[in-house]
Amino acid sequence: MPSALFTPLQLRSLAVPHRGWVSPMCQYSCHPETGEGVPNDWHLMHLGSFAVGGAGLIMSEAAAVNAEGRISPLDAGLYSDEQAAGWERIVRFVHQNGAVDCRIGAQLAHAGRKASTYWPFSGRSGSVAVSDGGWATVGPTTDAFDGYAAPAAMSEADISQVVADFAAAAYRAVAAGFDTVEIHGAHGYLLHQFQSPLINTRTDRWGGDEDGRNRLMLTVVDAVRKVIPESMPLLLRISASDWAEGGVDVQASVRLARAAAERGVDLVDVSSGGAVAHQKITVAPGYQAGFAEQIKRDAGVPTAAVGLLTSPAQVEDIVANGRADAVFMARAALRDPHWWLRAAYELGHDIPWVPQYQRAVPRHGF
């Protein structure tokens, strides 16, 4: 039987060669001396290795839409022409050197109240002080994430500006040659902060009921959809559950996904968590796949699953049984940047190898 994982997926005019994709993974490796938020050789190597390894679609790490939206001072951005030029070089490499006809997308993000933090391998935690290169953060209210500096509550002008910043970053992504764009609305970052009732206690039109709390995310969807080509697919990453009482649940996420699809989102990338520190996540292999399955079924929108998806048999089962249309992998890809070549072999499916690696094509065992 042919492998379901290695069948193509058509999203608008974009033909993705198969359904095994690379999840966005922040590298915290943009060095200020070579340009704020500018991707460099590390990012070329990191993302390029997955293309050589047979990935069907690679999603960039979260690229901030403005300087204050960076998670840390070492995060990438897409708010300057210099940053766009850095990304263009990486996009070109992926397109020219993929084992399959590899595609690459830009994830656009704003960290909101979780911005201006120390990177994971810095040896420190919490917010970076302004005196150490940090900055004042913003959010829906002045409530801080646990252990972080309190943000400023965003004004109407602030909100209008961040919507414009998402659109401008999407425009730069198109100019840099990306094949698709993903809006990051998950993991407790700005759009999710507005969505979650555990964070957003505003009483104006950007808060209140579910429609008000979803308004910023959907307004960003409208703004981005307007500036990217009609032929280009638009993806949206969401946290399907806050894993905390009174927070976003999967039923609310179904309603959000349905509304996003009506506004031109072509696939929902289904993750979870990140809104609050007191979340209680039940972690197990494939623990978020059920969210992707329910949103696909009840919202009638294509989905991608993510989260502790590691083995070829596991992800083949998810796609073959229609639980999700594609699978994003992160840690498994870091452990084995050629995961897709090995997976194809284990599933009895042939995919191309780059010419430089032809001598390693398995004949009697991987």
Q: Which domains does the chain have, with CATH numbers?
A: 9-360 (3.20.20.70)
Residue 1 CB contacts under 8 Å (≥ 6 apart), including other chains: none
Average pLDDT over residues 250-276: 98
Confidence label for 365 from pLDDT (cuts 50, 70 and 90)? low
Determine the pLDDT at residue 72: 98
pLDDT per residue over 135-159, tens digit each? 999 999 999 999 999 999 999 999 9
pLDDT at 4: 98
**345 annotated active-site:** no
pLDDT at 34: 83
Over residues 205-219, the pLDDT tens digits come to 999 999 999 999 999
The three state secondary structure string of 5-47 is: CCCCEEECCEEECCCEEECCCCCCCCCHHHCCCCCCHHHHHHH
Residue 33 reports pLDDT greater than 90: no
pLDDT confidence of residue 363:
79
Q: What residue type is assigned to position 208 of the chain?
A: G
Distance (Å, whole) CA 331 – CA 102 = 19
Answer yes or no: are the C-beta atoms of 155 and 163 closer than 8 Å.
Answer: no
Give residue 305's pLDDT band: very low, low, confident or very high (50, 70, 90).
very high
pLDDT band at 364 (very low <50, low <70, confident <90, very high): low
Given the residues 189, 287, 345, 357, the one annotated as active site = 189
189-243 tens-digit pLDDT: 999 999 999 999 999 999 999 999 999 999 999 999 999 999 999 999 999 999 9
CB 173 within 8 A of CB 108: yes
pLDDT at 84: 98
Q: Is there a contact between 214 and 259 (Cβ–Cβ < 8 Å)?
A: yes
> Residue 32 has what pLDDT?
85
CA distance linking residue 278 with residue 288, whole number of Å: 19
